[in-house]
Amino acid sequence: MMKNLLKTTVVGAALVASSFAMAQPAMASSLSWNVSDGLISYADASNKFCVRAYDSEGARQVTVTLTPVNGGSTITITDKNNYYGHSGGTCRYLNNTYKENTSLRATARSYWGERGTWVGRGTRSFTS
């Protein structure tokens, strides 16, 4: 009985060790996040992070702060649209700021002129 337990333990340990050795590296992720007054997106294939404030029903702004989980440079990206349009978004390529596979937190807040206040929209995590 003790021999079988020892064999089972050795085989189990070997399987666990081989699964760690063959594990794939961490994969980056994409992000699409509607924050009521706009849209935040990250495309992993191009390493492009975009913030877009909607250009309807009054002045709007969306601000996102990107913070590396393990410390490093924090950046803030803001897109502003007003009653007259200014469609499109504000984008930034993250490969100039962060290394590949950097874990980031995106913290968003938005403003709508008719509401007249800023609203915190929470935080999402992703990997560049």
**Taking the CB of residue 77, how many other CB atoms lie within 10 A of it?**
19
Q: Return all residues near 113 (Cβ < 8 A) that are at least 6 apart.
A: 58, 59, 60, 82, 83
Mean pLDDT of the region 33-50: 95
Mean pLDDT of the region 102-119: 94
Give the pLDDT score at 81.
Answer: 87
- Indicate the domain borders of the chain: 28-127
Give the pLDDT score at 84.
Answer: 63
Give the pLDDT score at 83.
Answer: 60
Residue 52 has pLDDT above 90, yes or no: yes
Mean pLDDT of the region 77-91: 80
Residue 54 has pLDDT above 70, yes or no: yes
Mean pLDDT of the region 49-77: 93
Residue 19 has pLDDT above 50, yes or no: no
Q: How many CA atoms lie within 13 A of 20 on its CB side?
A: 5
* Matching residue, tokens 């509607």: 34
Tell me the whole-structure pTM to 2 decimals.
0.74
Residue 75 has pLDDT above 50, yes or no: yes
* Matching residue, tokens 């333990």: 9
Quote the CA–CA distance of 59 and 35 in Å, as a whole number.
15
Quote the CA–CA distance of 78 and 91 in Å, as a whole number.
9
Quote the CA–CA distance of 87 and 3 in Å, as a whole number.
72
Copy the structure tokens of residue 80.
Answer: 């502003």
Give the pLDDT score at 113.
Answer: 87
Contact by Cβ (8 Å): 111, 60: yes
Q: Which CATH number fits domain 28-127: 2.60.40.3760, 3.40.50.300, 3.40.30.10, 3.20.20.80?
A: 2.60.40.3760
Bridge pairing between strands 103-112 and 117-127: antiparallel
Tell me which residue of 38, 57, 41, 13 sits closest to 109, measured CA to CA: 38
